[in-house]
Amino acid sequence: MGLPTAEVTPITAIESGAERTYQNGTVYWSSGTGVHAVRSNIDACYQKHLQDLGFPVNDEMKLNGGASQRFQYGQIHWSPSTGAQFTRGAIQQYWSQRGWQDGWLGWPTGDELTVKGGASQTFQHGTVFWSNSTGAHAVKDGIRGRYSVLKFEQGILGFPTTDEMKLNGGASQRFQYGQIHWSPSTGAQFTRGAIQQYWSQRGWQDGWLGWPTGDELTVKGGASQTFQHGTVFWSNSTGAHAVVGTTLSKYATARYEQGPYGFPVEDQTGPSQRFQHGSIAGCGKIGYQNPGGFFQVSSCNVSVPGGAFGYASPSRISINANRDQVVNAFISRAYDYLGTRYVWDYAMQPGNGVDCAGLVMQSLYATGMNLQDYNPTAHWYDPWHSHDANNMSNDRRFLHIPVSQRQRGDLIFYPGHVAIYLGNDQVIEAMPPRVRIANMYAGNRHPTGAARPFI
């Protein structure tokens, strides 16, 4: 402690006691706590919060990377990078249960702050918020960034009511008046009220709408919010409804709910969607859908490069078709090609000619599946795509499965060949001289693999 720098001074602000300063700190005494020294790194903070903390109840404790000291009503923690900060009460208990400074929150970087309705405190890796009704919960990383923009607990969301919850592909956290959701591709956005309820009833981020891509917006007469695969609009008189695909594009051109159509009054289930003041025809996909990273289905027609090979079968599925209906559309289109002549590298209309990969392409187009680089023009002109049966057998945009797990609507691969599985060991395939139905093992052949276009 070094030499004394002052005489003993009585302390009466908190209870009967005394202090004496030394070169390297201060010694405090009270009848209830005895004599304890507070060294300079911690003492400066203690001098500011003496009335909040009471007398020291032990001497300074050395910690890995710093020091700590206990007082009657809390503790002070010090490290070279964060300085000295005090903790107490429910926030200190929350922090201690998560490993103190060695846990994921790290050292405190600020003192506990009293805020309207509760308290908060910053740590190296997050901020802990507390209120009597919600308890203590930390907010961190991307969710904390969005929460700060929304003015923390004093904003529209209130105090957190849970810790962050890990999700497949991201994270979420609940607050008194809504939630914040985060993923690497969409960032952090909040949801609440009727729009959040609509989204939750459709599977949250794992449903067909995907993650929110913007916060809820208050608009004249209601609210709206964008998601990865559509936008949800709400008004008190119409409720919440999503608009997707080309219907959304046309609605946007007409100035959304502020334009002549007003708010949507229903979800789209057919070729058009009703609004307060009219209907909009369009296509897209709600309900069943392949996971991200795989080819998607749609009620929209696929467009392929033009010219003599610029034909794609129109989509046969409705905007809300389920998986069975999608598989049926796929197989029914393949049946349209029965008897069509086999022509190497053709993917033409029924009666004009197809090969095995061309039959698969045109049948998948009937589900609105945009196969991107697989198309009739590339299949004919591009030497690499002339072997698309082999290319598909290695393409991870289809879900590859063991042949033993095959189901109706799967693709069955052979060396240089692909067929569509119908069930009961039957396939439909383009095989010289024409499209046929055959046993998958006909001619003593053996499949090399299988893939599932519809997951």
How far is residue 123's CA from residue 112's CA, in Å, rounded to a whole number? 10
The answer to whether residue 437 sits within a structural domain is yes
d(CA 23, CA 40): 9
260 and 363, same domain (yes or no): no
Residue 275 is assigned to a structural domain of this protein: yes
Residue 71 lies in a domain: no
User: Does 338 lie in the same domain as 233?
Assistant: no
pTM attached to this predicted model: 0.85
Within-domain flag for 330: yes
Specify whether 343 is located in the same domain as 430.
yes
Are residues 336 and 243 part of one domain?
A: no
Token pair belonging to 45: 């903070």
β-strands 126-131, 135-139 pairing: antiparallel
Residue 58 lies in a domain: no
Q: Are residues 356 and 420 in the same domain?
A: yes
pLDDT in tens, 155-186: 999 999 999 999 999 999 999 999 999 999 99
Q: Both tokens of residue 5?
A: 């720098």
Tally of domains in the chain: 2
Can you give the CATH number for the domain in which 337 is found?
3.90.1720.10
Give the tens place of pLDDT for each residue, 323-344: 999 999 999 999 999 999 999 9
Examine the domain organization and report whether 243 and 327 are in the same domain: no
Q: Do 335 and 441 sit in the same domain of this protein?
A: yes
Q: Clarify whether residues 340 and 392 are in a common domain.
A: yes
Which of 221, 249, 282 terminates a domain? The answer is 282
CA-CA-CA-CA torsion for 442, 445, 449, 450, nearest 10 degrees? -10
pLDDT digits (tens, 9 = 90+) for 67-120: 999 999 999 999 999 999 999 999 999 999 999 999 999 999 999 999 999 999
- 426 and 352 share a domain? yes
Q: What is the pLDDT of residue 292?
A: 86
Please report whether residue 45 resides in a domain.
no
* 394-432 tens-digit pLDDT: 999 999 999 999 999 999 999 999 999 999 999 999 999
CB neighbour list of residue 308: distance below 8 Å, 6 or more residues apart: none
Residue 360 placed within a domain: yes
Which residues span the domain enclosing 339? 323-452
Same domain, 274 and 391: no
Together in a domain, 267 and 357: no
Q: Report d(CA 291, CA 321) in Å as an integer.
A: 15
Burial label, 291 (beta-carbon count in 10 A; 0-12, 13-18, 19+): exposed
Domain assignment present for residue 178? The answer is no
Give residue 189's pLDDT band: very low, low, confident or very high (50, 70, 90): very high
User: Which residue type is seen at 232?
Assistant: V
CB distance 114 to 91 below 8 Å:
no
420 and 333 fall within a common domain:
yes
Q: Which of 282, 315, 334 is the last residue of a domain?
A: 282
Last residue of a domain, one of 282, 312, 335: 282
Lookup: tokens for 99: 């490993």
